[in-house]
């Protein structure tokens, strides 16, 4: 905060608050806010009825419950009095900020990610172990898919998505974050919403799924083919597979994030599919499924040991098919470590 000339940090709903306090605020209209002044003790302003949910952390923050007839933004205003520059969490609701503005007429506002982002990006051993456990759980499900143990042909995308969601919970996650299932031409839309489309024989089925286990997220993408793989699809997939492996291999400590993107993208572009790779190569992952660092052209941030992120190039041919291959990787002093290890091939399934 001193480096960034930030006087006070205000964190509400979102992931910065649990990262610093261990408490996840309910995403409701009643204000919960951790007030962190640079030179004084931190205070968590919390609805009185929620106070019992907080595990007290003496010496970390004080708890200040507010009653139903009080104005919590006035309380935050008082605690922040004199602050000239205030950093707010990305996911704080606009409502809270709008209500705070009149209480802090002399303050300017900036994003808390400047302070909390670098802390959250550098995962410690326990965080990496949590990501690895979540990753191993979704790998188990990917294996079932690839062995034909999850029925596909004749079911709708939505039914397969629900199946994946159930398995995500059974494998130890507390929450399903997404279970994209996209068949055939639908796979050309990277974030396709699984719907009533029935999966047929002889088409690609893209699955991208993950959840949250003990606070940390999983996220993996595997494609299977319901029949014999045609030459054009096999050819494109071989390029994708090589590009994904090159992205992971490039993710060494000190390498700028954009160079990981370039390593994967160059292979796809050189093979003539460049126009069909329509998104960045990856995103950081941790408490949130998408967080810093982003693996994208323009991000010159050098990777540090402990940075965790996806490497997920794709090739999307509108109206025909799409494919993506995604692993979570961690930069370590010993080189890149992939946290997903299910089969990387495009497997032909009888399912």
Residues of the shown chain interacting with Zn ion in the complex, contacts defined by CB under 5 A: 208, 219, 221, 310, 326
Of the two residues 288 and 326, which places its CB atom closer to Zn ion in the complex? 326
Output the smallest distance, CB 219 to Zn ion, in A.
4
Output the smallest distance, CB 17 to Zn ion, in A.
23
Output the smallest distance, CB 208 to Zn ion, in A.
4
Match 């960045």 to its residue by tokens: 280
Complete DSSP assignment for 205-234: EEEEEEEEETTEE--EEEEEESSSPPHHHH
Of the two residues 34 and 142, which places its CB atom closer to Zn ion in the complex? 142
Q: Angle of helix 231-250 relative to helix 257-270, nearest 10 degrees?
A: 160
Nearest alpha carbon to residue 285 among 257, 301, 308: 308
Of the two residues 9 and 260, which places its CB atom closer to Zn ion in the complex? 260
135 contacts 340 by C-beta, under 8 angstroms: yes
Output the smallest distance, CB 283 to Zn ion, in A.
6
**Rg, Å, the chain Cα set:** 23
Of the two residues 157 and 326, which places its CB atom closer to Zn ion in the complex? 326
Of the two residues 44 and 205, which places its CB atom closer to Zn ion in the complex? 205
Give CA angle at 111 (109, 116), nearest 5°: 135
Nearest alpha carbon to residue 14 among 101, 149, 120: 120
Q: In degrees rounded to 5, what are phi and psi of residue 300?
A: -90, 5
Output the smallest distance, CB 271 to Zn ion, in A.
22
Of the two residues 221 and 244, which places its CB atom closer to Zn ion in the complex? 221
Output the smallest distance, CB 82 to Zn ion, in A.
41
Q: Is the dihedral of CA 293, 294, 295, 301 positive or negative?
A: negative
Nearest alpha carbon to residue 95 among 72, 115, 117, 112: 72
At residue 308, the 3 state secondary structure works out as strand
């Amino acid at each position: 905060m001193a480096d960034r000339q930030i006087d006070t940090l205000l964190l509400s709903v979102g992931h910065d608050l649990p990262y610093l306090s261990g408490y996840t605020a309910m995403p409701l209209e009643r204000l919960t806010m951790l007030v962190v002044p640079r030179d004084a003790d931190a205070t968590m302003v919390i609805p009185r009825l929620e106070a019992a949910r907080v595990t007290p952390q003496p010496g970390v923050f004080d708890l200040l419950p507010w009653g139903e007839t009080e104005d919590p933004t006035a309380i935050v205003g008082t605690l922040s009095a004199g602050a000239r520059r205030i950093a707010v969490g990305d996911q704080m609701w606009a409502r809270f900020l709008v209500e705070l503005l009149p209480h802090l007429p002399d303050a300017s506002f900036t994003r808390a990610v400047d302070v909390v982002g670098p802390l959250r990006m550098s995962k410690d051993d326990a965080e990496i172990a949590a990501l690895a456990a979540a990753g191993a759980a979704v790998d188990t499900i990917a294996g079932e898919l690839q062995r034909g143990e999850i029925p596909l042909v004749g079911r709708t995308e939505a039914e397969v998505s629900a199946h994946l969601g159930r398995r995500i919970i059974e494998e130890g996650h507390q929450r399903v974050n997404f279970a994209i299932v996209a068949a055939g031409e639908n796979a050309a839309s990277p974030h396709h919403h699984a719907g009533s489309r029935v999966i047929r024989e002889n088409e690609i089925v893209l699955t991208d799924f993950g959840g949250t286990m003990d606070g940390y997220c999983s996220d993996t993408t595997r494609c299977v083919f319901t029949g014999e793989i045609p030459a054009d699809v096999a050819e494109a997939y071989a390029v994708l597979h090589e590009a994904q492996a090159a992205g992971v291999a490039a993710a060494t400590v000190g390498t700028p994030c954009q160079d990981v993107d370039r390593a994967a993208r160059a292979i796809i572009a050189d093979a003539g599919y460049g126009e069909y790779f329509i998104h960045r190569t990856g995103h950081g992952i941790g408490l949130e499924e998408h967080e810093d660092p982003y693996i994208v052209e323009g991000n010159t941030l050098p990777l540090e040991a402990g940075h965790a992120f996806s490497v997920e190039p794709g090739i999307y041919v509108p109206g025909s098919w799409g494919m993506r291959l995604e692993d979570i990787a961690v930069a370590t002093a010993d080189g890149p470590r992939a946290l997903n290890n299910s089969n990387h091939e495009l497997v032909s399934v009888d399912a």
